[in-house]
Copies of this chain bind each other. A is one copy, B any other.
Amino acid sequence: MTHSEAATPSLKDLTIDNITDNVNLVNSKTPSPRFKFLLERLVIHLHDYARETRLSQDEWLEAIQFLTATGQMCTNVRQEFILLSDVLGLSLLVDSIDHPKPPGSTDGTVLGPFHTHDAEVLGHGALVSHDQNGEPLLAICTVKDAHGNPIPDVKIDIWETDSSGMYDVQHVGREKPDGRGILTSDTEGKFWFKGIVPVPYPIPHDGPVGKLLAKLNRHPMRPSHMHFMFEKEGWDKLITALYLRGDPYETSDAVFGVKESLVVGLGRVDKAMASQYAGTQEGMKLLTYDFVLVTDKETAQLRDGNSVEALKKLNMVVRIVDGLPVPDVD
């Protein structure tokens, strides 16, 4: 770094009114137009926030300490920043922007912080949960395209809590995954497994995010649900969950994830079904759902169109590069 490089632009006497433009000018030397755009909007919003709230130094320091504590709460099995994003509604918003759904396809929802990459690959009919205290559940589902054609060979990641409302990773001394598994759809697009009836549970609230919720007089509960993630080359990754109708927290999910289209009532396994599906009994709780995936191509078109339209409304002139907007400067 030579003196002349260091001195462009000249930064001195920055004030409440000129600091934002100057910080963005310094940041504009990044070679990536997208990263430049992301940082530019970040600095504008961050500074506008301080200017609008007239943020005090004490409040700023409290925020610094909160963010520090949030980072330090994270371990390889706990992601407090994802929790923070979840309770502020950011996670759902980003999913909605990145994975727009055309009519007739299955809605997405929050990933949450409890997905892991070590779930076992299971065969159809396998036990996803080994919790003896859980209420047994048979799940029979399909995955299809918007025209009703089955999609085979989809990798389906499933995860749920145990009957105490805890994910496996929340138990000290976890030796192997439980309450989670990976299935693959068959030629009919079908997959089935045995789990337990999901229960409502609190998100971890013994850390900074829990303190924030308490300060906001908000409860930390999530309604009963089971997570599903669908992946197959050429298809838009679907991160979703099914929620149980009538749950006490159905309309007050701490992380804003519930969509009416994802709320299901459970049925009962009948006699014929019990004889068809190994290891099930008549009267056992039954979950059925037909998931509908969208191609990568259709999602990309929809996303690009949404982006252009939304940013036009904001009077921002952009072009789409690799599926993401950057300012259109000549």
Contact = CB atoms under 8 A, between A and B. Distances in A.
Contacts of A53: 37-38, 41, 324-325
Nearest to A322: B56
A11 interface: yes
A248 B5 CA distance: 10
Contact of A29 (B90, B217, B258, B303): B217
| Copies of this polypeptide in the complex | 2
A249 B94 contact: no
Interface stretch (A129-137, A149-157, A183-191, A310-318): A310-318
Nearest to A74: B68
Interface residues of A, number: 96
Interface in A195-226: 215-219, 221
Given A7-B251, A72-B74, A251-B7, A325 B93 contact: no
A77 interface: no
B22 A89 contact: yes
Interface in A90-121: 90-99
A89 B221 contact: no
Contacts of A22: 89, 256
Nearest to A253: B11
Interface string A287-304: 000000000000000010
Contact of A90 (B5, B60, B70): B60
A328 interface: no
Interface of A: 1, 3, 5-8, 10-16, 19-20, 22-23, 26-27, 29-31, 35, 37-39, 41-43, 45-57, 59-60, 64, 67-72, 74, 79-82, 85, 88-99, 215-219, 221, 248-253, 256, 258-260, 263, 303, 306-307, 310-311, 314, 316, 323-325
